Structure 1
């Protein structure tokens, strides 16, 4: 069911919208959590390390699909917030075309670049075969990934965060069963993990689209919806490509860091892989509120609820800081037993490294919470330059850690890379948000007709 986020107490509305997102993100991470546990236990530590060694390459290209999908959903949310259903359908149609083109491009690029990128990152020889198999299987499944990212982003832009959760939970169960079957029974190796995820994502995509169209027939696209009005193609493609590019820029830093990690040997790669799988569960919880803020800001901009946007950002910043402190405490207290779920107790050195990594991340979760809230709110208002600049800051700081800290500090340099990237990205975002805040205050004081004319200026702040 579609729902507007333009009425009701901001904190309550955003939290209720974010809870299904949070649960959905957690279940989405369970995809990877399940894959890692099955791969690590059935195929061994080297297979787990091989899967982990591909994460930055996957982020480089598949991250583009995630960012692009979120960007193309912003004008959908804005049109829906303004009550213009015809424009909402046209933006959905535009995003569908662009999504198909992006999926084809990423599939081709990933297939051609998989092996060269693994060689560039100095992937250990003993991991190369499994890493190549997993990477190629993942890129061949890009159409399913792109479809999943776009459909869920659109549904959330319409204010419905529950439908994606319901189908995602069902598909998490499907994914778990398929991973055991493809790896344990069909003997497909690490490629079976990628195949299981693709099938689960495709099932979720079809289910979400069918259910929403059944409940909201006014959103069914007709022939006229595939012809955008002047300027609408730009409004859809611009944020989509900008956010996709932003994610890829961030991923370049991860590639540089992964090269340094691979040079430290298989044990460090395995420990980092395990830590990232666990860390992503905490990050998913915080990022849920960021995704909610994108929809909240975009819908309320469409409805010209300027004061409501400011209150929402302030109140949710407090909520996410509290959540970040709780998550950090959990990681510090229970990091070792969680790591043993992946690796078992026969590899104490890898378990210790994993817990050390989690402890470093935990102290910086409040900074990450602010990063998600501010960046996603600014993006929801239509701005693309500052969030992209923040992506470049992440690239700079993460790459610097890989090039300058890993050598002298070893694994500690690896653990510090992400927190330094978060802090670096926050610098331009904080200045940008206060500029947006001043502009929102000014719009509140202007007559309604003048405020409508001046609203586009928010995107340039």
Structure 2
């Protein structure tokens, strides 16, 4: 039976850590099978396939990120409704969120064959990895509905304080994905598209599993079949919170896609190094993202319960922990980056590219961590516009300006790496100023708890 965590009572540090731990484990398993995907592809299909996989990851996130942003909005409202004990509202939000996911899932099926090739051309994808990139990306996008369903189910459970149920399904998804990876690539001798098919199947199975568990739950916050439909007034509420998050995710993804395009101009070795380093970096950032999720859920539930003092205490604790932990994690990764890169590649040039990025970026991890934590606080409080501006202006606009107007004149990989810490610093300063200067805790009338 599902166990929710009411974060409106109890000791704040223990509440945050109790919630963050299963979220961390969920992220760990997710990152593990991303890394195992990468290892299987690189070891059995070569650096060309690894470069194709790396090239597609940012594009895939760009295409699906808008709906992930909408999902964040639904999660915030569900968390606020949970804190206010408004079960009818919570069920209506769940039903509308799932209805949107199903509609978009079918849209992706029709969209994939139309957009993948033009995007890869725009991304300046090298010809030696173009065909592999196309086969991976088109299959991934066509099946992205499973990823949307899984992420929506996870967001709903986490919003009500249950981080363990998504963990169990993610563990199952990881094992399914790894088994299918090995089966498709080693037994059926597929190209890199076999890794995409494995991910799609695993996500669809576990995404539907999460939805069925919500439908069959006996709890007050269960998903009602009769409520799985679109209602204009509810969608409006979700979009008020979710649309800025969707714009934020899309803008950052668009900027990262442009970054990937410039990485591609350095050739397949730089592409492979970027993919390998991203997999390593993903592990180090897991505790940070888990704790940010805990802070965001804590904020949403306590805003719903209108507990301003408790909200502020939790946010201060969260920001302090974030500054310390992100620095420690960055240093640990820096000291071990060479041996970690050697897991993915034995090519000295590939390793050197990865080490160069590590030496430039990892000193600035606290700014990246603070950005994520402050953004989670603003989203949980129902103030996603502040979070959106922090990301769009810095991780989006500033990143693109540097790339488009400066990098062409200094076509050096080390300069490209500096794009990350510069924009992390800008976003953390912007969000910190708003956190300290604005009265961002909403009035009761600002919280969308009742239907019009």
TM-score normalised to structure 1 length:
0.91
Pair 1:48-2:40 in alignment: no
Aligned with residue 423 of structure 2, among 421, 424, 429 = 421
CA distance in 1, matches of 2:71, 2:27: 16
CA distance in 1, matches of 2:302, 2:282: 30
Give 3-state SS (helix, strand or coil) of 2:6's partner. Answer: coil
Q: Which residue number corresponds to residue 446 of structure 1?
A: none
CA distance in 1, matches of 2:78, 2:402: 38
CA distance in 1, matches of 2:418, 2:154: 32
Alignment: residue pair count: 444
Superposition deviation, residue 230 in structure 1: 8.0
Aligned with residue 87 of structure 1, among 79, 89, 94 = 89
Superposition deviation, residue 212 in structure 1: 4.8
CA distance in 2, matches of 1:72, 1:111: 29
Superposition deviation, residue 368 in structure 1: 1.1
Superposition deviation, residue 138 in structure 1: 0.7
After superposition, where does 1:33-182 map in structure 2 within 5 Å? Answer: 33-182=35-184
Tell whether the 8 Å contact from 1:396 to 1:421 is kept in structure 2 after alignment: no
Q: Could you say if the C-alpha distance between residues 407 and 172 of structure 1 is closer, same or farther in structure 2, counting changes exceeding 3 Å?
A: farther
Aligned with residue 334 of structure 2, among 311, 332, 335 = 332
After superposition, where does 1:209-288 map in structure 2 within 5 Å? Answer: 209-214=211-216, 216-222=218-224, 225-226=227-228, 231-288=233-290
CA distance in 1, matches of 2:429, 2:203: 35
CA distance in 2, matches of 1:248, 1:105: 17
Tell whether the 8 Å contact from 1:21 to 1:165 is kept in structure 2 after alignment: yes
CA distance in 2, matches of 1:381, 1:273: 35
Give 3-state SS (helix, strand or coil) of 2:190's partner. Answer: coil
Superposition deviation, residue 260 in structure 1: 1.1
CA distance in 2, matches of 1:44, 1:117: 24
Give 3-state SS (helix, strand or coil) of 1:219's partner. Answer: coil
Tell whether the 8 Å contact from 1:107 to 1:139 is kept in structure 2 after alignment: yes
CA distance in 2, matches of 1:149, 1:160: 14
Give 3-state SS (helix, strand or coil) of 1:363's partner. Answer: helix
Q: Which residue number corresponds to residue 375 of structure 2?
A: 375
Q: Which residue number corresponds to residue 385 of structure 1?
A: 385
Tell whether the 8 Å contact from 2:263 to 2:270 is kept in structure 1 after alignment: yes
Q: Could you say if the C-alpha distance between residues 164 and 233 of structure 1 is closer, same or farther in structure 2, counting changes exceeding 3 Å?
A: same
CA distance in 2, matches of 1:166, 1:124: 39
Superposition deviation, residue 214 in structure 1: 4.8
Tell whether the 8 Å contact from 1:103 to 1:146 is kept in structure 2 after alignment: yes
Q: Which residue number corresponds to residue 307 of structure 2?
A: 305
Give 3-state SS (helix, strand or coil) of 2:366's partner. Answer: helix
Which string of whole-angstrom CA distances, capped at 9 and with x for unpartnered residues, describes residues 277-319 of structure 1? 2112223331222222221111111101111111111101111
Which string of whole-angstrom CA distances, capped at 9 and with x for unpartnered residues, describes residues 371-428 of structure 1? 1110011011111222221232211222234232365261112322222222222233
Q: Which residue number corresponds to residue 361 of structure 1?
A: 361
CA distance in 1, matches of 2:109, 2:20: 31
Tell whether the 8 Å contact from 1:406 to 1:414 is kept in structure 2 after alignment: no
Pair 1:396-2:397 in alignment: yes
Superposition deviation, residue 29 in structure 1: 1.4
CA distance in 2, matches of 1:380, 1:406: 39
Question: CA-atom RMSD, angstroms?
Answer: 2.1
Tell whether the 8 Å contact from 2:95 to 2:225 is kept in structure 1 after alignment: no
More displaced, 262-271 or 396-405? 396-405
Aligned with residue 452 of structure 1, among 424, 434, 444 = 444
Where in structure 2 are there 5+ consecutive unaligned residues? Answer: none
Tell whether the 8 Å contact from 1:65 to 1:103 is kept in structure 2 after alignment: no
Q: Could you say if the C-alpha distance between residues 254 and 203 of structure 1 is closer, same or farther in structure 2, counting changes exceeding 3 Å?
A: same
Tell whether the 8 Å contact from 1:65 to 1:149 is kept in structure 2 after alignment: no
CA distance in 2, matches of 1:228, 1:64: 18
